[in-house]
């Protein structure tokens, strides 16, 4: 008789670093290397143009997930800890780490590090951290790349290169839609035509169906569809509803 066994889930350590404004950088590391917090802070410095790495965010604005094989029992175990300032992002953490069945524990913040008054004292020096840039980046090394979000059925229409375009003029775009409708197809056609004919620089476009990925819609504060968000280059811009006018799209992209 053949018995079917469940596959062993991937073993890895994941670390997420948030900003007070809600931006996120994270890593998924099967080799469980150290000093990832340092890399994540350096990534925020690079992407947000900070004067120095924001080490003061650690540990209060962090969350960690660890799944390992107990050498004594050969049983897979896991630990998921999120600190109070980022507790509300548990659904997003489950999305990026693909840990939908995990129950998160709340970490205990060191009082001398996570006192709100102490954290707020850094605001004048790091004002970008209190702004929301719709930034969600996965770090594979000290250099970050754009995260590989689950694709919708409409993604074949869009460019789906998961890395940020090379060069400072590259664009990162996110389009939120509500299912496959005639209006959605029309908006996509117009947007794709503008990008191909007028943009003139590399770009990455992600198409996200809010019905299939509500966590991403909630995190990006989507109130209506279609919504086009320009994540890069800064500043972040968005347009809601009207994607049929090429001039309007051009203004959002910042080259009109």
2 within a domain of the structure (yes/no):
no
pLDDT tens per residue across span 233-248: 777 777 877 677 777 7
Residue, of 33 and 198, whose pLDDT is higher? 198
Whether 120 and 185 share a structural domain: no
Q: Which of 86, 119, 139 is the last residue of a domain?
A: 139
Whether 74 and 167 share a structural domain: no
What domain count does the chain have? 2
Whether 133 and 156 share a structural domain: no
Q: How many CB atoms lie within 10 A of CB 74?
A: 7
What does the pLDDT read at residue 136? 86
Whether 126 and 177 share a structural domain: no
144 within a domain of the structure (yes/no):
no
Residue, of 248 and 118, whose pLDDT is higher? 118
Whether 28 and 108 share a structural domain: yes
Whether 47 and 100 share a structural domain: yes
Whether 38 and 133 share a structural domain: yes
Residue 160 is part of a domain; what is its CATH number?
Answer: 3.40.30.10
Percent of the chain scored above 70 by pLDDT? 79
Q: Which of 82, 111, 139 is the last residue of a domain?
A: 139
What does the pLDDT read at residue 35? 58
Long-range contacts, 100-106 (Cβ 8 Å, 24+) = 102/65, 102/78, 104/63, 104/80, 105/79, 105/80, 105/81, 106/81, 106/82
Summary mean pLDDT of the chain: 76
62 within a domain of the structure (yes/no):
yes
Handedness of CA 166, 168, 169, 171 (dihedral sign): positive
Query: Is pLDDT at 87 greater than 90 in this prediction?
Result: yes
205: left (phi over 0), alpha (psi -120 to 50) or beta: beta
7 within a domain of the structure (yes/no):
no
What does the pLDDT read at residue 255? 58
Owning domain of residue 155: 151-253
What does the pLDDT read at residue 119? 87
Spatial separation of the C-alpha atoms in residues 9 and 217, rounded to whole Å: 27
Give Cα 200 distance to the centre of its chain: 26
Q: Which of 104, 139, 174 is the last residue of a domain?
A: 139
Whether 169 and 224 share a structural domain: yes
pLDDT tens per residue across span 69-80: 878 888 888 889
Whether 36 and 86 share a structural domain: yes
Whether 80 and 181 share a structural domain: no
Query: Is pLDDT at 142 greater than 70 in this prediction?
Result: no
Confidence of residue 29 (pLDDT cuts 50, 70, 90): confident
Whether 155 and 132 share a structural domain: no
Whether 112 and 157 share a structural domain: no
pTM as predicted: 0.54
224 within a domain of the structure (yes/no):
yes
Query: Is pLDDT at 129 greater than 90 in this prediction?
Result: yes
Q: In what order do the strands lie in the sheet with 237-240?
A: 203-209, 171-177, 227-232, 237-240
What does the pLDDT read at residue 109? 75
Residue, of 134 and 253, whose pLDDT is higher? 134
Q: How many CB atoms lie within 10 A of CB 188?
A: 20
- Which of 79-83, 144-148, 156-160, 206-210 has the weakest average pLDDT? 156-160
187 within a domain of the structure (yes/no):
yes
3 within a domain of the structure (yes/no):
no
6 within a domain of the structure (yes/no):
no
Query: Is pLDDT at 55 greater than 80 in this prediction?
Result: yes
pLDDT tens per residue across span 149-203: 333 332 332 333 333 444 445 778 888 888 777 777 777 888 887 777 777 677 7
């Amino acid at each position: 008789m053949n018995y079917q066994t469940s596959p062993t889930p991937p073993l890895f350590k994941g670390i997420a670093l948030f900003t007070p404004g809600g931006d996120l950088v994270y890593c998924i590391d099967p080799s469980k290397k150290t000093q990832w917090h340092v890399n994540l802070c350096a990534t925020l410095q690079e992407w947000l143009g900070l004067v120095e790495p924001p080490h003061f965010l650690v540990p209060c604005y962090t969350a960690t997930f660890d799944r390992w094989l107990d050498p004594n029992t050969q049983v897979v175990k896991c630990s998921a800890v999120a600190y109070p300032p980022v507790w509300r992002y548990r659904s997003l953490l489950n999305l990026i780490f693909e840990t939908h069945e995990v129950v998160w524990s709340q970490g205990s913040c060191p009082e001398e590090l996570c006192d709100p008054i102490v954290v707020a004292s850094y605001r004048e020096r790091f004002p970008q951290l209190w702004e929301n840039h719709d930034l969600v980046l996965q770090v594979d090394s000290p250099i970050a790349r754009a995260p590989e979000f689950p694709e919708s059925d409409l993604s074949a229409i869009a460019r789906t290169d998961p890395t940020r375009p090379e060069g400072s003029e590259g664009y990162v775009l996110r389009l939120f839609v509500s299912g496959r409708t005639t209006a959605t197809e029309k908006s996509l056609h117009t947007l794709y035509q503008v990008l191909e004919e007028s943009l003139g620089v590399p770009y990455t476009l992600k198409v996200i169906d809010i019905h299939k990925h509500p966590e991403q819609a909630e995190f990006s504060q989507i109130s209506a569809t279609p919504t086009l968000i320009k994540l890069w280059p800064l500043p972040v811009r968005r347009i809601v509803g009207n994607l049929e006018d090429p001039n309007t799209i051009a203004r959002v992209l910042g080259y009109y």
